[in-house]
Amino acid sequence: MRAEVPKGIAFPPTSQAGGLPPLKGSNCEARRLRVDVPAAPGGYDVVCGRGVLTALPVLLEEIGAAGRVLLLSDATVAPLQGRRVVTLLGAAGRDALLWAMPAGEAHKTLETVSAAYSWLAGQRVERGETIVALGGGVVGDLAGFVAATYLRGLRLVQVPTTLVAQVDSALGGKVGVDLPAGKNLVGAFHQPALVLADVELLATLPEREWRAGLAEVIKHGVIRDRGLLDLLERRRADIVARDPGVVAGMVAQAAAVKVAVVVEDPLERGLRRILNYGHTLGHAIERAAGYGVVLHGEAVAWGMAAAARIAAQLGTCDGAFVAWQDALLRAYGLCMPLPVLQADAVLQATRLDKKTAGGHLHWVLPRGPGEVTVTHDVPSVAVDAAVDWLVAEGR
């Protein structure tokens, strides 16, 4: 017997495809998405496409960024792209300085933030100067938090270099760091002045990181864009091969989903919660396995699969959706075998999740392709069953 469908807020599917104007005055292939939210007076642009990194000096002028540029990166990205960006800005008459943190989620901490503060203080950074976050989600989150808090706020430009960051984490102004108790427990809302997503930067992304990023693309399709899901199914071979033209369109379309949600709910008071689909159990998997053992996108894919099973138990979606989503995730190399997990560790990690109200977790559950619901009314027996399934997949 099916349980009653949990009460929640249903958000209908919409398509965000197409209609994005090109970047004027540039010979690179680019599209602009406009983000207008109360937290960012005047709004800001998300510029994505092929070769758009070369437009960075012009775009900095557009947003009125005077003074020095402080590039915050990590030990992986800095050798690949850091010097290139410093040279690019220098050729345009910009004084740019580069600082690199150690790479990896394990270093997204207050200790690293303190090290960044010390470097900025040593450079005598002033409030009119600009921080550019050059890297993946960890760099974007940490550099954004530094920008939000140093001198009570510095201008932030996000230049994401991973697929996860280009379609998700670099957009929307959520910045922060981890504590031993859990992910992103210390943070702020600090909207960037510009997001510049060059898909050519994805060429050096390791295959595993690429696949992990596709989990967030699939997530955006499942929560709000059937057109994106259609693209993922029709052009799978091209996307897997990283065809730059197809990938540029995919990134723009996936980013448009995030932008549309952020514009409507910049401070995560309602609609924006749908972006957490797969993240409640995904974050718990990351913590239970040990940060870095399971990549964020890999954990989100498993979290989506588990959330669909919870939804099927409650009658929110049917078994056909569960099977369809499983097939799509696996077609992109996701939901590969998990490491051994302990059910108690996963459940304990969910209790530390910051997405709670009145002590109850917010769950994002699918209704079907392109439509989800948000609820806190999920019986513990349904969660236990989903976690048992995850643990079994890790054996």
Catalytic annotation, residues: 152, 174, 216, 258, 268, 272, 276, 279, 283, 296
Give the position of tokens 């900025």.
Answer: 120
**Helix, strand, coil % (nearest 5) of the chain?**
50, 20, 30
Main-chain dihedrals φ then ψ at residue 205, nearest 5 degrees: -70, 130
For 25, other C-beta atoms within 10 Å of its C-beta total 9
Query: What is the sign of the dihedral through the CA atoms of 239, 297, 136 and 204?
Result: negative
Q: In terms of Cα–Cα distance, which of 137, 197, 184 is closest to 165? A: 137
DSSP state of 338: P
Tokens of 121: 């203080």
Distance CA 45, CA 23 (A): 10
Separation between Cα atoms, residue 55 and residue 27, nearest integer Å: 9
State how far the Cα of 267 lies from the Cα of 43, in Å rounded to an integer: 15
3-class secondary structure, 18: coil
Across the chain, the runs of DSSP E, i.e. the strands, are 9-11, 29-37, 40-50, 69-74, 96-101, 130-135, 155-160, 174-179, 182-189, 194-198, 356-357, 360-361, 363-368, 371-375
Cα(197)–Cα(248) distance, rounded to whole angstroms?
9
Q: Are 252 and 20 in contact (CB under 8 A)?
A: yes
Residue with tokens 């394990």: 106
3-class secondary structure per residue, 38-74: CCEEEEEEEEEEECHHHHHHHHHHHCCCCCCEEEEEE
Alpha helices in 290-367, H assignment, sequence order: 296-314, 319-331, 343-351
